[in-house]
């Protein structure tokens, strides 16, 4: 069982963040460029985090196109976070985009 679970919540056609991809790759991911798609970014994130943390970190992607899990519904009703929503061990982060460095900071915090 993983020590940390990172859950990315969004729509199947969601973008990976509020800003379009550009040559600076401020998100820290490269293989998903230039699609700007959340699904591609989650795959790239999973690969990077697996390489660094192995099985200590689990990456989940929850698509809410057709059904919304109750825990996600409660978060949206209470907090109205931007999509993609990034949860770490069920806790809503303020990241609001798929960013390797920012998510790694949250993982390190959770591992302490």
Domain harbouring 29, CATH code: 3.40.30.30
Can you give the pTM of this predicted structure? 0.94
pLDDT digits (tens, 9 = 90+) for 1-50: 899 999 999 999 999 988 877 766 789 998 888 889 999 999 999 999 99
Q: Sheet of 57-63: strands edge to edge?
A: 57-63, 4-10, 85-88, 91-92
Which domain does 83 fall in, by range? 4-111
Query: 44 in the Ramachandran plot: left (φ > 0), alpha (ψ -120 to 50) or beta?
Result: alpha
Give the separation between CA 22 and CA 75, rounded to whole angstroms.
Answer: 30
Say if residue 34 is preceded by a cis peptide, omega within 30 of 0: yes
Length of the chain equals 112
57-88 confidence digits (pLDDT tens):
999 999 999 999 999 999 999 999 999 999 99
86 sits in which H/E element: strand 85-88
Confidence (pLDDT) at 90: 96
Number of domains in the chain: 1
């Amino acid at each position: 069982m993983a020590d940390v679970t990172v859950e990315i919540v969004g729509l199947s056609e969601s973008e990976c963040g509020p800003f379009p991809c550009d040559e600076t790759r401020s998100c820290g991911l490269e293989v998903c460029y230039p699609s700007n798609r959340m699904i591609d970014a989650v795959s790239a994130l999973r690969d990077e985090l697996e390489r660094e943390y192995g099985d200590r970190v689990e990456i989940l992607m929850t698509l809410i196109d057709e059904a919304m899990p109750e825990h996600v519904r409660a978060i949206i009703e209470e907090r109205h976070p931007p999509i993609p929503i990034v949860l770490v061990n069920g806790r809503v982060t303020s990241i609001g985009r798929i960013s390797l460095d920012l998510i790694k900071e949250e993982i390190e915090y959770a591992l302490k």
